[in-house]
Amino acid sequence: MLSRIAESLFWIGRYLERADGTARILDVHLQLLLEDPWIDEDTACRSLIALMGGEADPEVHLTRKDVLALLAVDRDNSASIAYSLSSARENARRAREIISTELWECLNTTHARMPRRVAGDKAHEFFRWVRERTALAIGVTETSTSHDDAWLFFSLGRTIERADMTARLLATRSLTEASGPSWTTILRSCGAFEAYLRSYRGMPTARNAAEFLLLDRLFPRSVMFSLSRAEEYLVALDPTSSRLGVREEAQRVLGQIRAELEFRPISEIISDLPGHMEEFQVATASASEAIRQRYFPTSAVPVWIGENS
């Protein structure tokens, strides 16, 4: 497969997952601002922008409206939903000869219907629309694309982005004190609350919720699940084995992250959750860069606010 096509498929997967994850995070956190009158709006908004890797003017008092403008509909902000959906469509255009007509029509329609502004009372409806459109694009890909190299690159991008988004979400728990989201809020942000209740049969605690989102091998949005799938896709793309261990840098980086999560005590991770999650985000960025160098070395890697390599 041409490196240009592989790169486009990889980033279609990442941008779709990024739009979905951002919509989930914004939906729950902005709703929390409406329901809890004791939360300081400015502090909570700054924490949310920091979660997505952005910086806000310290002299300006932030509101829900500012967060919506910056992270939802700003087409020039690489952390926004609008930017992600537009970039997914642009990458699909570059790979038009390989993707299905259904996927192209889905992404093109989503891009055309993306609003320029979202009213505060329509935010939940907008985020639900984003989740539905990304789910449709992913479902179309799963059912109309052969599970060959094209599908592997698309899925690889999705799993790496999903792991990164879950890590960002976990880091929010300690960004602020009184204004920080509860563990129930964090679980709801990634659609994990019901799955958590079925697994632990009780209200979330810090240890159990973090353990579930980090280590559960069956929940598709957990960090461990995403890392394991990413490793499987990399092996499928390059199935040759070596007596001397893992040869590919991306596999090595992802394997090191997974081993760190598996064998480090959960209490130790929770004691400095933001720090560990920041290290994890740096590692996923390194894995993404290793994938770029291995499969599409002639292209500059697209980055978003806060992503380091």
Q: Which residues of 181-197 are buried (b: 16+ CB within 10 A; e: fewer)?
A: bebebbbbbbebbebbe
**Cβ-Cβ contacts under 8 Å for 161 (sequence gap 6 or more):** 13, 14, 15, 17, 18, 21
**Contact assessment for residue 140 and residue 132, using Cβ atoms and an 8 Å cutoff:** no
Per-residue confidence (pLDDT) for residue 243, from 0 to 100:
62
Per-residue confidence (pLDDT) for residue 28, from 0 to 100:
82
∠ Cα 230 235 237 (to 5°): 95
Question: Which positions of the chain have pLDDT values less than 50?
Answer: 175-179, 306, 308-309
Return the SS3 of 7.
helix
10 exposure class (CB count in 10 Å sphere: 0-12, 13-18, 19+): buried
Q: For residue 281, which of 181, 182, 171 has the smallest C-alpha distance?
A: 171
Residues composing the chain: 309
CA distance readout (Å), 266 to 7, 167, 182, 213: 35, 14, 18, 11
Q: Give per-residue pLDDT as tens, 116-145.
A: 999 888 999 999 999 999 999 999 999 988
Q: How many CB atoms lie within 10 A of CB 229?
A: 18
Element (H, E) at 31: helix 3-35
Q: Model pTM?
A: 0.89
Q: How many CB atoms lie within 10 A of CB 70?
A: 19
Per-residue confidence (pLDDT) for residue 278, from 0 to 100:
85
CB-side exposure of 193: number of CA atoms within 13 Å?
Answer: 12
For residues 220 and 229, give the distance between their C-alpha atoms in angstroms, rounded to a whole number: 9
Q: Which residues of 145-173 are buried (b: 16+ CB within 10 A; e: fewer)?
A: beeebbbbbbbbbbbbbbbbbbbbbbbbb
CA distance readout (Å), 248 to 73, 161, 211: 38, 19, 29
Per-residue confidence (pLDDT) for residue 144, from 0 to 100:
87
Element (H, E) at 36: none
Kindly state the greatest CA–CA separation across the chain.
Answer: 60
**Cβ-Cβ contacts under 8 Å for 168 (sequence gap 6 or more):** 25, 51, 52, 53, 277, 281
Q: How many CB atoms lie within 10 A of CB 263?
A: 7
